[in-house]
Structure 1
Amino acid sequence: SQPGVDLILPDFSYIADRIDDVEALVLTHAHEDHIGAVPYLLRHRSDIPLIGSRLTLALMEAKLREFRMKPVTLQVKEGQIERFGPFECEFVAVNHSIPDALAVAIKTSAGVVVHTGDFKMDQLPLDGRITDLNAFARLGDAGVDLLMVDSTNAEVPGFVSSERDIEPVIDAVIARAQGRVIVACFASHIHRVQQLIDSSVEHGRKVAFVGRSMLRNMGVARELGYLHVPADSLISSDEIQNLPDDLVVLICTGSQGEPMAVLSRIANRNHAIEVGHGDTVVLASSLIPGNETSVNHVINGLTKWGATVVHKGNALVHVSGHAAAGELTYLHNIIKPRNVMPVHGEWRHLRAQAAIALKTGVPEEGIVLAGDGVVVDLFEGRARIVGAVPCGYVYVDGSSVGELTDSDLKDRRILGDEGFISAVVVVDLDAGKVVGGPEVHARGSAEGDHRFDEVIPQIRDAVEAAMQRGVTDRFELSQVVRRTIGGWAGKTLRRKPMILPLVIEV
């Protein structure tokens, strides 16, 4: 739906107008949807302090190096309290699908706001770092005026499974595979990668990371001690061909069908690595809504070449990193917030979170359902919507940032869906006659140019009739051409192509 767009960013224009008022940017964790736009924000002001845990900042700094940026940072950890201008922030450990995630309690003159960040309550996490429920309970006992809580899985009943639950499945896939095993997952899912490495080593396979972001993130994780790989078990992608297929595991990006990611390129035979009979491909992630077509295209491509594809639909190869309704209910009960603002979800998720808040005793007037750009005021213990600020999206198209508009995208979609018609008409305004053309050509159309022969007399008649009425402005005459072709194409071709008319005066 955004043809030619490389990235979609939040519109920073409102913040840019107040950029000097920004005290700090708190990064709860290092997933791409949370840190990906930071380089573009820092273009407005490069010295905004970035606050985060050790791993979060390391991954953020590695990303910023690709933009040739050196940020101002402050490393924090759970239990630490820091002041930024009028805000006192206390950081709380939470468990998520990336190590070192944090929630933050912000003490202000208007009250205490707790933002959970992305979290779940895995009681047997791979790194032993559980969500600090004692800290949340202590904050609740002291009084929380507004809870902003992750709503991604608010519709899902019960509790999310532990990351450890998928270990036997991954182990069985690698043990049974006769050829190479290629696993696609998020480049930041260090826990999942550790599981894959452990199983690969157990079955005598070498591991290769493939893909720029995967190599970058796993390099950082190894350097900091968050990822443990025996030195003799790691190989480069260039060494893959030197080993038998049944001794290799490749870990790459592309689990969401991203067109330029490694797995998509492999599926399209546009990569040095080729899959075939005997190879097993694992998509070790959940399917993000909206990516269904892309992912199915990748699965079909891999299957076409003979690979066996394992995914969440046919095996337990992924568990969510977001708390389900049972966990959320528990959190509401121990924090006992006066007001709740569901965040991080679509409207159905936000409403499901609101329903949980109601059940746990938050009054209806204390629940704030707000979309992007909505201004929420916390005053005298009550949170309420008081207005909205401009917000939206900015598109990155090649080296262009923010210059591509929704109107441009609409034009691109029309070109792709309906095709393009150009028409050139040469007129003698003094005589009121068409003296050249009309010449009509089409692109992206099933019909040949001869199909447009029947509209040429209509264009000539319409233009000459307009000139006889006294129309002499070339723009107005070009609109006559546009309307004539548009009406004909709608009736005859049942299409609404983009039309580019050109009127030349002699």
Structure 2
Amino acid sequence: MTLIEYGDDAIAIDCGLMFPENDMLGIDLVIPDTTYLLDNPGLLKAILLTHGHEDHIGALPYILPDIPVPLYATRLTQGLIEVKLKEAKLLDKIELNTITSESVIEIGPFKIEPFHVCHSIPDAVGYAIHTPQGLVIHTGEYKFDDTPADGRPADLDRLRRYGDEGVLVLLSDSTNAERPGHTPSEQIVSAAFEEIFDETRGRIIIATFASNISRIQQVINIAMRHNRKLAVVGRSMVDNVKMARELGYLTAPEDMIIHVDDLDDYPDNQIAIVCTGTQGEPTSALVRMANNEHRQVRLREGDTVILSATAIPGNEELVHRTLNNLFRLGADVIYQSLRPVHVSGHASQDEQLQMLQLTRPKYFIPIQGEYRMLVLHGRLGQAAGIPPENIWVIENGQVIEFDEEGAFPGEVVANGQILVDGLGIGDVGKVVLRDRRLLSRDGFVAVVVAIDERTGELVEGPDIISRGFVYVRDSEELIEEAKERVIDLLESGATHRDTAANVIKNNLSQFLYQRTRRNPMIFPVVLEV
């Protein structure tokens, strides 16, 4: 989520989510911290979306209830947003504006021109934002593909024209800044799919992102040429395919798309399936198939499974587990390490340099990527002739201000991560995550005692309950020693409820560590009777 502010007006570009890191136990999603906008009500005038991937639109249902501003998006992106807003019961509360690469949008002091870019989803755009201070270019996520799946290359002439007009600052995608050369075309994937369909006599199951409409169209085209019916499996995949067909972004004969319940009506060599699950998500269609738990699709020998995606960092273990389970079921599994069944939707170094050469900005801010990628992209900026002092490698929350004298760092605004856990938004923080990590590592021990409220003498217990620490039946001696330790502590004068709880916790923690070299969480429960 990028904020561009002038005076009392601001616009945001994208409003995405990220998936939790490995140590964020129990967390479902991570969304941007909007404290700065909430502290400045009325500042944000609109959100402009570059494309329909989760990391660019996924946080809208969580942000819009508190900041209900108009949205601007291309038709396909708007369709994907509408699915989300409908689920969140927000569809009739938010103004949605459809734009094209020919639109001109005026919001306060900003005159905004979307321009077409190639990405792994149709209808992706970047934005040229004319401000009183100068022209700002936000590339969105892009690559320069001369033969894209939808037949629409990026608008290089428009980018060159902006460069001729004079660009104040370029904000450009850094995701593939570590990759030399040029990102391969989507046509490589089509060729690989064609070969696999030619070779295969059994069912073909293709897993891809539900939002990768271009890849789904590739599957449809090749399945048609090989006289295969196509079943769509996975709730998000079904929803997106339905929406994209209604809007005309997916085309297929009516009798080609079949319901998953009708698979057994056709021989295996006439069946293809497209489904979700490329990241090993536990409830996704592919994972349930791999675990032999899918109600409608049971994998068997002779099936070919194509994983048409790469693992998002942090998801590797889940993806590898899914691949192993697919192989165990006897399926022939094809993934990126074996054949070119996926290409990135992001520009590699040659294209990033080309973007810099086309737009020729005075200032350059690398965006979208891990810090090392931003640094490497910044070095490309120097190679393109931008002075090092005009390249700003910044982290979340850092403000860069521009005036007649140049650019300089401004304040750092609130930039923490807001964690979504079930229905809770932002109510899980560092302390809760720390406790979850401790529980997952060493478990817990609960100690329950009852003491006389007048004398402080032990009336009942101690009872010790353990989960995730030791198997009680195999550790009865340790548990009995722990009970004796608690009795000795209470008889030593720790008679008040609050004092007894602290003494039990500290001493029992030390005792258990000495005996096991483990640090379970200790929960003392002291009842006064």
If the length of structure 1 is used for normalisation, what is the TM-score?
A: 0.95
- 2:169 corresponding residue in structure 1: 146
Query: Paired residue for 1:78, among 87, 101, 104?
Result: 101
- 1:297 corresponding residue in structure 2: 321
- 1:30 corresponding residue in structure 2: 52
CA deviation string 1:9-51 (max 9, x = no partner): 22223222334221110001111110011111111133x1111
1:401 aligns with 2:432: no
Partners of 1:145 and 1:382 within 8 A in 2: no
1:347 aligns with 2:347: no
DSSP-derived class of the 1:266 partner: helix
- 2:8 corresponding residue in structure 1: none
Q: Kindly tell me: are residues 75 and 428 of structure 1, through their superposed partners in 2, closer, same or farther at Cα, counting changes over 3 Å? A: same
Task: Work out the CA distance in 2 between the residues paired with 1:217 and 1:426.
Answer: 58
Q: In the TM superposition, what is the alpha-carbon distance from 1:6 to its structure 2 partner? A: 2.6
1:225 aligns with 2:225: no
Gaps spanning 5+ residues in structure 2: where?
1-22
Query: Paired residue for 1:116, among 123, 130, 139?
Result: 139
DSSP-derived class of the 1:20 partner: coil
1:126 aligns with 2:149: yes
- 2:396 corresponding residue in structure 1: 372
- 2:78 corresponding residue in structure 1: 57
Task: Work out the CA distance in 2 between the residues paired with 1:464 and 1:148.
Answer: 68
1:105 aligns with 2:125: no
For structure 1, which segment, 252-261 or 62-71, has the greater mean C-alpha deviation from structure 2 after superposition?
Answer: 62-71
Task: Work out the CA distance in 2 between the residues paired with 1:125 and 1:396.
Answer: 36
Q: In the TM superposition, what is the alpha-carbon distance from 1:339 to its structure 2 partner? A: 0.9
Q: In the TM superposition, what is the alpha-carbon distance from 1:192 to its structure 2 partner? A: 0.9
Amino acid at match of 1:316: P
Amino acid at match of 1:214: M
Query: Paired residue for 2:234, among 187, 211, 221?
Result: 211
Partners of 1:19 and 1:44 within 8 A in 2: no
Partners of 1:87 and 1:106 within 8 A in 2: yes
Task: Work out the CA distance in 1 between the residues paired with 2:304 and 2:318.
Answer: 19
Partners of 1:146 and 1:383 within 8 A in 2: no
CA deviation string 1:418-441 (max 9, x = no partner): 111000223346545434322222
Q: Kindly tell me: are residues 265 and 364 of structure 1, through their superposed partners in 2, closer, same or farther at Cα, counting changes over 3 Å? A: same
- 1:316 corresponding residue in structure 2: 340
Task: Work out the CA distance in 2 between the residues paired with 1:466 and 1:363.
Answer: 72
DSSP-derived class of the 1:57 partner: helix
1:259 aligns with 2:286: no
Task: Work out the CA distance in 1 between the residues paired with 2:512 and 2:268.
Answer: 56
Amino acid at match of 2:101: E
CA deviation string 1:376-409 (max 9, x = no partner): 2122263332221112222322222222233223
- 2:306 corresponding residue in structure 1: 282
Q: In the TM superposition, what is the alpha-carbon distance from 1:286 to its structure 2 partner? A: 1.7
- 2:509 corresponding residue in structure 1: 486
DSSP-derived class of the 2:350 partner: helix
DSSP-derived class of the 1:294 partner: helix
CA deviation string 1:440-478 (max 9, x = no partner): 2211233316122112222222333343xxxx5422321
Partners of 1:368 and 1:383 within 8 A in 2: no
Task: Work out the CA distance in 1 between the residues paired with 2:317 and 2:493.
Answer: 48
- 1:452 corresponding residue in structure 2: 479
Q: Kindly tell me: are residues 238 and 141 of structure 1, through their superposed partners in 2, closer, same or farther at Cα, counting changes over 3 Å? A: same
Q: Residues 420-431 of structure 1: matches in 2 within 5 Å?
A: 420-428=444-452, 431=455
- 1:185 corresponding residue in structure 2: 208
- 2:33 corresponding residue in structure 1: 11
Task: Work out the CA distance in 2 between the residues paired with 1:265 and 1:4.
Answer: 20
DSSP-derived class of the 1:281 partner: strand
1:505 aligns with 2:522: no
Q: In the TM superposition, what is the alpha-carbon distance from 1:252 to its structure 2 partner? A: 0.6
Task: Work out the CA distance in 1 between the residues paired with 2:142 and 2:152.
Answer: 12
For structure 1, which segment, 439-448 or 265-274, has the greater mean C-alpha deviation from structure 2 after superposition?
Answer: 439-448
Partners of 1:332 and 1:357 within 8 A in 2: yes
For structure 1, which segment, 174-183 or 140-149, has the greater mean C-alpha deviation from structure 2 after superposition?
Answer: 174-183
Task: Work out the CA distance in 1 between the residues paired with 2:153 and 2:493.
Answer: 76
Amino acid at match of 1:438: P
Q: In the TM superposition, what is the alpha-carbon distance from 1:331 to its structure 2 partner? A: 1.1
For structure 1, which segment, 445-454 or 131-140, has the greater mean C-alpha deviation from structure 2 after superposition?
Answer: 445-454
Q: Kindly tell me: are residues 337 and 381 of structure 1, through their superposed partners in 2, closer, same or farther at Cα, counting changes over 3 Å? A: farther
1:337 aligns with 2:361: yes
Task: Work out the CA distance in 2 between the residues paired with 1:49 and 1:482.
Answer: 53
| Number of residue-to-residue matches in the alignment | 501
Task: Work out the CA distance in 2 between the residues paired with 1:426 and 1:367.
Answer: 66
Partners of 2:456 and 2:496 within 8 A in 1: no
CA deviation string 1:129-172 (max 9, x = no partner): 11111111111111111110000001111111100012121112
- 1:442 corresponding residue in structure 2: 466
For structure 1, which segment, 9-18 or 128-137, has the greater mean C-alpha deviation from structure 2 after superposition?
Answer: 9-18
Task: Work out the CA distance in 1 between the residues paired with 2:382 and 2:45.
Answer: 34
For structure 1, which segment, 57-66 or 428-437, has the greater mean C-alpha deviation from structure 2 after superposition?
Answer: 428-437
DSSP-derived class of the 1:232 partner: coil
DSSP-derived class of the 2:488 partner: helix
Partners of 1:88 and 1:106 within 8 A in 2: yes
Q: In the TM superposition, what is the alpha-carbon distance from 1:489 to its structure 2 partner? A: 1.9
CA deviation string 1:243-281 (max 9, x = no partner): 222211110111011111111111122211111111111
Partners of 2:365 and 2:391 within 8 A in 1: yes
Q: Kindly tell me: are residues 444 and 62 of structure 1, through their superposed partners in 2, closer, same or farther at Cα, counting changes over 3 Å? A: same
- 1:465 corresponding residue in structure 2: 492
Partners of 1:116 and 1:150 within 8 A in 2: yes
Amino acid at match of 1:462: L
